[in-house]
Amino acid sequence: MAEEASLAPRRVAAPPKRFVRQQVPDSILNDPRLRAAIARLPSNYNLEIPKTVWRIKQAGARRVALQLPEGLQMFALPLCDILEEFAAVEECFVLGDVTYGACCIDDLTAAALGADFLVHYGHSCLVPIDVTQVPSLYVFVDIQIDVEHMIEALKFNFEAGSRLALCGTIQFSSAIHSARMGVVDFFSEVVVPQAKPLSAGEVLGCTAPAISKGSVDAAVFVADGRFHLEAFMIANPGLKVYRYDPYTKALSSEEYDQAGMRKARRAAIEQAQRGKSWGVILGTLGRQGNPQILRHLENRLAERGVVYKVFLMSEMSPAKIGLLEETIDAWIQIACPRLSIDWGEAYGRPLLTPYEAEVALGFTRPWWKRCSPGNEGHLDCSSSCCSCGDKDVLGDYPMDYYARDGGPWNSVYNRKPTKARS
């Protein structure tokens, strides 16, 4: 009997409900009442409501939290009404803190408020759903635009046979891929670059694909603003970049002060190297601050014998930081690299990114002492590596904060083995 019991098949536990992947059933997709409710929302915004309803039902969720960036918050209450009516949700509430990106996903607050499901709108999946404190769903909010106009604009403004790269923000990902299919026979090459784990063509304000120099003639960035575009330009300093605004339908040539930015960041690093007491800020706005980076930097600081203090902050400002600077000579902020790049000079002490801290502490060779492969003697060149005399300018400043193959300073959750960097 005991032998028979040992041979009996073991019951395998069902997978967590957060991983169920069945397609949305027709009973939800074709529900006339649900379709009528969806019709009251903008038709060119894909809010993935049937998928959300189905996913919440699968999870058996009763208290659902919604998190939306400022530009989408006007849809928050209609979405709550729909989910309460069609997904058997007892209470749907909206997280009101500012949401800058997917790094701000606030599953911790949602869990503290008793939510058993979180829907995050407008951003891609940076924080994997297998590490969130509550089952979570990312809704990219794909926006439909006039792709035909974009195709004609590309053909009109660039010569046949040109080599182009197309990229932009996640909302326009499907439009970018559709436009590529529409021009692939007109141009000699049309690439949609990717910085994994991001989607092909997707660019964040802190993470952008670096395109091999000389492989394309120009890049066209699809967005209605410059924040994400600037990350792409920082990662590709020698590339001619244009921006296609899908709302104004205008194609504009874009510039970025590459040398000025690098000069300012180098000055901050060199000033920090003279400091004796450092402060490390861990951002607490959603998941902006990654504890694994904090542990890494604490080990680095201890290895160099640097005195430091750790501070937790949801948001930073020169006024707030200024109150703490009496005993602090330099800061490292683990929140958003663009706080340092864009506004670092507004602070009274150097405000370094984790990458810049690696440079300042001597663990990573600075960009001004490196040449980019295939670019010796040109933009990314320094006298220390090829003796051309161009000492300080457009080195390969990495924009890889969430890139899987980025440096040890980055915040990716599924990391590839770190590459050796000279």
pLDDT in tens, 152-205: 999 999 999 999 999 999 999 999 999 999 999 999 999 999 999 999 999 999
Whether the bond into 237 is cis, omega within 30 of 0:
no
Architecture of the domain whose range is 17-143: 3-Layer(aba) Sandwich (3.40)
Residue 22: what pLDDT? 66
Residues found in the chain: 422
Residue 16: what pLDDT? 42
Give the integer Cα–Cα distance in Å for 121 and 142.
10
Residue 418: what pLDDT? 52
Q: Which residue has the tokens 């440096």?
A: 407
Residue 98: what pLDDT? 87
Tell me which residue of 363, 350, 361, 355 sits closest to 399, measured CA to CA: 355
Q: Indicate the pairing of strand 117-121 with strand 218-222.
A: unpaired
The fold for domain 147-256 equals Rossmann fold (3.40.50)
CB 162 within 8 Å of CB 154: no
Mean pLDDT of 65-82: 96
Residue 6: what pLDDT? 45
Give the integer Cα–Cα distance in Å for 397 and 355.
9
Instruction: Report how far Cα 11 is from the mean position of its chain's Cα atoms.
Output: 40
Contact partners, residue 374, CB within 8 Å, separation at least 6:
212, 213, 214
Tell whether the model's pLDDT for residue 357 goes beyond 60.
Answer: yes
pLDDT digits (tens, 9 = 90+) for 370-379: 755 444 434 4
CB 367 within 8 Å of CB 395: yes
- Higher pLDDT among residues 224 and 378, named by residue: 224
Residue 15: what pLDDT? 40
Q: What percent of the chain has pLDDT over 70?
A: 87
Tell me which residue of 42, 286, 35 sits closest to 141, measured CA to CA: 42
Four-residue CA torsion sign, 113, 119, 124, 126: positive
Count of other CB atoms within 10 angstroms of residue 223: 20
Architecture of the domain whose range is 259-386: 3-Layer(aba) Sandwich (3.40)
CB 172 within 8 Å of CB 222: yes
Contact partners, residue 105, CB within 8 Å, separation at least 6:
67, 118, 120, 123, 126, 127, 132, 136, 138, 286, 287
Amino acid letter, 160: A
pLDDT band at 136 (very low <50, low <70, confident <90, very high): very high
Q: Which residue has the tokens 């918050």?
A: 73
Mean pLDDT of 395-420: 80
Q: Report the run of H or E that residue 333 belongs to, with start and end.
A: strand 330-334
Mean pLDDT of 286-293: 93
Residue 14: what pLDDT? 45
Read off the DSSP letter of residue 247: T
Residue 416: what pLDDT? 61
Residue 281: what pLDDT? 98
Mean model confidence pLDDT for the chain? 89
Count of other CB atoms within 10 angstroms of residue 33: 9
Give the integer Cα–Cα distance in Å for 392 and 86.
60
CB 239 within 8 Å of CB 226: no
Mean pLDDT of 411-421: 64
Residue 21: what pLDDT? 57
Give the integer Cα–Cα distance in Å for 145 and 137.
24
Whether the bond into 197 is cis, omega within 30 of 0:
yes
Give the integer Cα–Cα distance in Å for 261 and 155.
33
pLDDT digits (tens, 9 = 90+) for 301-355: 999 999 999 999 999 999 999 999 899 999 999 999 999 999 999 999 999 999 9
pLDDT band at 413 (very low <50, low <70, confident <90, very high): confident
CATH topology match: 17-143 vs 147-256 = yes
Question: What six digits make up the tokens of 248?
Answer: 């104004």
Contact partners, residue 296, CB within 8 Å, separation at least 6:
354, 408, 409
Residue 417: what pLDDT? 56
Residue 385: what pLDDT? 41
Q: Which residue has the tokens 């304000």?
A: 205
CB 219 within 8 Å of CB 242: yes
Tell me which residue of 185, 257, 190, 265 sits closest to 220, measured CA to CA: 190
Tell whether the model's pLDDT for residue 387 goes beyond 50.
Answer: no
Residue 376: what pLDDT? 41
Give the domain ranges of the chain. 17-143, 147-256, 259-386
CA separation (Å) from 158 to 153, 188, 232?
A: 8, 11, 20
Contact partners, residue 334, CB within 8 Å, separation at least 6:
280, 281, 282, 283, 288, 289, 290, 293, 294, 297, 354, 411
Residue 178: what pLDDT? 97
Tell me which residue of 48, 61, 25 sits closest to 135, measured CA to CA: 61
pLDDT band at 126 (very low <50, low <70, confident <90, very high): confident
CB 81 within 8 Å of CB 53: no
